[in-house]
Structure 1
Amino acid sequence: MAKPNKKGPTQTVDIYCAKCKAPLYKYRKGGKGALVKCFIERIVEDHTNTPCTCPQCGQVFARETLIRGTPAYKMVGGKVVMK
């Protein structure tokens, strides 16, 4: 399968914890759909101390995985909010 485009989209979205509204990432997202996964190479700003864990409330909001051979975070449904 093809790898995701390195440069990726130019539109960025802010990703927040759904529980405590703490900022998690600023991410270059393509398309209009729901946030299912975050490719690590597309994350512009990372506000987390440990991967996939909210820095404020400690909730685990994603799992590390490989998607099409590229490292990514697979989001757990309902744990993050995108603006």
Structure 2
Amino acid sequence: MAKPNKKGPVKTVDIFCSKCGAKLYRYRKGGKGALVKCFKERIVEDLTQQLGLCPDCSSLFGRETLIRGTPAIKIAGGKVRMK
């Protein structure tokens, strides 16, 4: 399988916790679909202390996994929103 593009997309989105509204990441997202996964190499700004946990309300929004051989965070449905 093909790996994701190293350079990545130019468009960045802000990712927020849907429970408390805290900002979690600034992410270079490709495409216009829903946010299902975040490749770690595309995260521009990381505001979390622990992987997959919201720093304010401590809710679990994702888990660490390998997607196409690249480290990523698999996002749980409905746990985050993006602008």
For Structure 1 versus Structure 2, the TM-score category normalised by the shorter chain is over 0.9
**Equivalent residue of 1:41, what SS?**
helix
Q: Distance in 2 between matches of 1:80 and 1:58?
A: 13
Q: Distance in 2 between matches of 1:30 and 1:24?
A: 18
Letter in 2 for 1:36: V
TM-score (norm 1): 0.99
Structure-to-structure mapping, 1:7-46, within 5 angstroms? 7-46=7-46
Q: Distance in 2 between matches of 1:71 and 1:11?
A: 21
Q: Distance in 1 between matches of 2:2 and 2:34?
A: 21
Share of identical aligned residues, percent? 72
**Equivalent residue of 2:78, what SS?**
coil
Q: Give 1:41 deviation, angstroms.
A: 0.2
Q: Give 1:5 deviation, angstroms.
A: 0.3
**Equivalent residue of 2:71, what SS?**
strand
Q: Give 1:54 deviation, angstroms.
A: 0.1
Name stretches of at least 5 consecutive residues in structure 2 with no aligned partner. none
TM-score (norm 2): 0.99
Segments ≥4 residues shifted beyond 4 Å: none
Q: Distance in 2 between matches of 1:67 and 1:48?
A: 21
